[in-house]
A and B are shown apart, each in its own frame.
Chain A
Amino acid sequence: MTRWLRARVLVIGGGINGTGIARDLALRGVDVLLVERRELGSGTSWASSGMIHGGLRYLQKDPQVTEHSCIDSGAIQRIAPHLVFRIPFLMPVFSDDPLGPELVEIGLEMYDRYVSLKNGHPHTRLTRAQALALEPALSDAIECAFTLDEWGVDAARLCAANALDAADRGAHVLTHTEVVELLRDATGRVTGARLRDRIRGDETFVEAELVMNATGPWVPQLAALAGEEVRLRPGKGIHLVFERRVSNIAIYARGVDGRDMFTFPHEQNSMAGTTDDDYYGDLDRIDVTEDEVAYVLQAMERSIPSIQQHRVLHAISGVRPTLFGFGAYEDELSRDYEIVDHGAFGAAPGLYSMTGGKLAAYRLMAEDAANRLCAVLGVDAPCRTAELPLPGGEAPADLLALAKRFRIAPPAVARLGFRHGARARSVLEAGEDAHARGRRVVCACEPVLDAELRHVARAEGLRKLNDCTLRVRLGVGACQGAACAASAAGVLAEELGWDAPRTVREVAELAASRWRAVAPVLSGAQVGAMELHRHVNFGMLGLTEEILP
């Protein structure tokens, strides 16, 4: 059965750009359909550092990127306070660094002018002894250190929150649905798309006045469906994810080639990264190489000599949709963004593409894009994304009171509150049944409660077990889902009406996708964890090659 849908704007891509634009348009009363090929935020957004930082790095070449990022970071803190957390940074200075402390401090003084925009503290300079007292894991070869202040965010949740808000305002959101074809009229105008649901296999035709291609690194592929060429300089980046914390403070490190990197506390883990290399491989299978892992660890080791003893859980990889530039090193390319009107600069009127940009400035970029589209549509409603809270950001939740009332361990409620903000209470209330099943901890690593899984299935349009890794961070801890995949699948099966074979397939898919993330960094205690993972999945659950994707 083919269905027909109509929307004023079809937004393609469920990353931070697409969901941000969809929300912006929906808040202006524009009828939007958002389509995502996989899970919301599963591409570049998930692979980002998950920081809404100002980008000290861009200050020299792209000061407007820094400024935009800082302004927008402040706005994100207002509209989604629950999803944001402070990350204090230490920047150690070594005697053999190209810039001495004085020059570094000049840069930081310039940056201080922006940090108040994002509620950051100005930098401070620490002596060697002060820095080592603050973070004993730092190398004692440092000369001195500076502090600065940045903000982290759960990027996948931020995408989901934008999409949910759009949906609350009437937008259609279709995940696991791909654009098979762009529809054109006789004049070549793009008038919509043919979509295919990748789970059910059925097709939908969407008629739209305008089509926004916000597919990040996939922008060229999507534009090519309309015969349009968009050039990117796709830059692959990886992050290593550590078990729990390497340090509670983020620490700058310098790569062997002089690039800035850092290890930073992020949600329940520490992360380290990132790399930046031209990438022309398969965007759906972005493998992490041994070279990249060694490069990151080598850089970190100079700042934190003990880093090699920390347990790496898995790696995250993605590709930046960086603007095309010739003759520059990856790192020196502009982090600015562009919106291409394929009518004015091509032969596909009605189609727009968005390229480049930063997570931290997503809201501003979305506003700019929505302004452009609204001008064409004749909509003059103003942008309201900086004032209206995202779902859950309406008011602070009293998490301790919830923990008491539902008799759930406070750390579990804290994580629920982090993801759902003010909605945490209704999530727990909806999970209550005669036996209080909703209070059970399904995934102990994160932790994730039964009630939260039911909520994302019922109210957030979650469609696959594997998507729980992004939506609620299930299965990304030490056991990589060995302990929780089957129980979580059982809960989702009940909520989503999966039959038994589908349920087993979902478990198999999660197991296989965790292996892809872990294998490139497999070492130390994680090898034992994966040995057990295989025992559970092959030996106990009976997964076989026939079932595995």
Chain B
Amino acid sequence: MSAVVVGGGLAGAAAALALAEAGAEVVQVAAAPGATALSAGVVDVASASPGIATLPWRDALRGSPLLPRERLALHRRGAPSHPYAQLFGAGDDPALPEREIETGMARLARWLEPGGLALGGSLGANRLLATVAGTLRVADFAVAPAARGDLLEAQDVAVIDAPALEGWDARALARTLAHEIDALGLAKLPVSVVHPAFPPGLFADPSPVRVAARLDASGARAALATGVSALGARGRVLLFPPCLGIERSAELVHALETASGARVAEALSFPPHAVAGFRFQRALDAAVERAGVRRVRERVRRVLAVDVDALSLVLGDGGERLAADAVVLAVGRFVSGGVEAGRDAVNEPLLGLPLYDADGRRIDGIPARRSARKGYGNEQPLFSAGVRTDRRLRPLASNGRPQHARLFAAGDLLGGFDPARERTGLGVALVSGLRGARAALESLRAPQARAEGMP
């Protein structure tokens, strides 16, 4: 019995890893890295305030910052179209979401650990991370080294000046950061700019990802450690640009912390310098490789139902076929091609699944521009749309019934929420990827599609 996972981001990797651990024969098909590679490596599980795209930290100004656990609980009263509504149900087990998220995070941490990438965070505490622009971002979970920069734990912040580096302006960052800290009324947290001695030639190519790769070398690591040794202080966070190594990031951070005595963290970064996302994606890929999952670097053109228990994927330009007893679709939305905006219509290209926005309206079959509303800050149906599923994450066809008994969906492809505004994209990806794998396993172990009368 073989399961095929389509998609290479966090949802796909989680599904593939979970299936492999359960002993299934797994194939992961992905033509390119997932949108996870463009992320900041922050895995938020509960939206800022469900339905309201405002920073939870604004609540702090009113004296009540909500913890991730409390924000998660609000989801139960939130939008019925949110993937969590299907994943966690309405009320039968109030402890389920927390339990499932904590287990999921523990599994993710375990998968990432051999690659040296640590995952930090908990449902019981907010962490406050700085972005490269100096704005503050509340994070539930995050991968290191960004995760190490929790400002709630810091006594002062020293921003690393690296004037030659692209996309990094320590002075501007520090200015904005100081203001944000002040505006949130946090305890006094001084922000300064510090000037380390960089190894010569480090910025010969000033792109952060190149600098990060150069810092994987042990010579450069040692030289940078020497260069920051005088900058540390107890309780200080040394805030680095997103360039702290790619493969050997943990060793680099350890060396820098040992030399300086400060906590070493990266500012949260975004494209075109999403080094943390790139690192995260690489670590996921490595974990999938380690688990013995066969990886196929092809684009899936179509997914066909062979019969009630079997599916077939049409791959690449040659139209090669790949047979599957179960399929987990973790193909994302527009950036990763899981949803396409064609000339005349938005569509889900693999099966033509209907796409629903957060209000339950279909947006497939009409041009993208017609779903675009005026006002950047308004709710945008186009960006909350995806497939709708049953409780077992099986995408629904337009007749409201599952498209196929052994076809499952996970990650951003799930509609009903706006990952950009709620910021829960990676959290939903992890939980739904694991859940999709579980549902796929169940379907493989107890083939009862026929009995259920599914198509």
Contact = CB atoms under 8 A, between A and B. Distances in A.
Interface in B140-199: 163-164, 166-167, 169, 171-173, 175-176, 178-180, 183
A527 B334 contact: yes
A531 B334 contact: yes
Interface residues of B, number: 60
Contact of B377 (A444, A524, A545): A545
B421 A534 contact: yes
A317 B138 CA distance: 39
Contacts of B372: 519-520, 522
A548 B376 CA distance: 8
A519 B341 contact: no
Contact of A539 (B176, B178, B423): B423
A483 B377 contact: no
Nearest to B373: A519
A435 B163 contact: yes
Interface string B385-417: 000000000000000000000000000000000
A257 interface: no
Contact of A523 (B164, B178, B369): B369
Given A290-B370, A531-B383, A308 B335 contact: no
A545 B376 CA distance: 9
A546 B421 CA distance: 13
B382 interface: yes
Contact of B166 (A290, A436, A440): A440
B206 interface: yes
Contact of B419 (A309, A434, A435, A535): A535
A528 B334 contact: yes
Contacts, number: 167
A221 interface: no
Contacts of A399: none
Interface string A428-443: 0000001111001100
Contacts of A515: 375-376
B134 A538 contact: no
B176 A500 contact: yes
Contacts of A490: 133-134, 169, 171-173, 175-176
B114 interface: no
Contacts of B171: 490, 494
A511 B38 contact: no
B94 interface: no
A486 B133 contact: yes
Nearest to B377: A548
B271 A536 contact: yes
Nearest to B423: A539
B172 A532 contact: no
A524 B343 contact: yes
A426 interface: no
Given A435-B164, A531-B383, A545-B53, A483 B369 contact: no
A474 to B, nearest CB: 14
A546 to B, nearest CB: 7
A540 B40 contact: yes
Interface in B38-53: 38-40, 53
A545 B374 CA distance: 13
Contacts of B425: 535, 539
B376 A512 contact: yes
B135 interface: yes
B270 interface: yes
Q: Looking at A515, A516, A537, which has the most chain B CB atoms within 10 Å of its CB? A: A515
B368 interface: yes
A401 interface: no
Contacts of B169: 487, 490-491
Nearest to A315: B369
B172 A523 contact: no
Given A290-B370, A538-B420, A548-B376, A524 B137 contact: no
B176 A483 contact: no
A379 interface: no
A503 interface: yes
Given A519-B374, A523-B341, A531-B420, A540 B131 contact: yes
A326 to B, nearest CB: 33
A531 B163 contact: no
A290 B54 CA distance: 32
- Report which residue of B55, B134, B137, B369 has the largest number of chain A beta carbons within 10 angstroms of its beta carbon: B369
A286 B271 CA distance: 31
Interface in B330-351: 333-337, 341-343, 346
B268 interface: yes
Interface string B265-276: 000101110000
B9 to A, nearest CB: 13
Contact of A540 (B135, B341, B377): B135
Contacts of B172: 487, 489-491, 493-494, 503
A226 to B, nearest CB: 34
A408 to B, nearest CB: 11
Given A500-B180, A534-B383, 7 more contacts: A515-B375, A523-B369, A531-B334, A535-B270, A539-B420, A541-B133, A544-B55
20 contacts: A290-B370, A308-B343, A437-B163, A483-B272, A494-B175, A500-B179, A500-B180, A501-B179, A519-B369, A522-B341, A524-B341, A526-B341, A527-B346, A528-B335, A528-B337, A531-B420, A532-B38, A536-B271, A538-B421, A542-B136
State the 4 A-B residue pairs at the shortest beta-carbon distance, nearest first. A490-B172, A435-B163, A500-B179, A548-B377
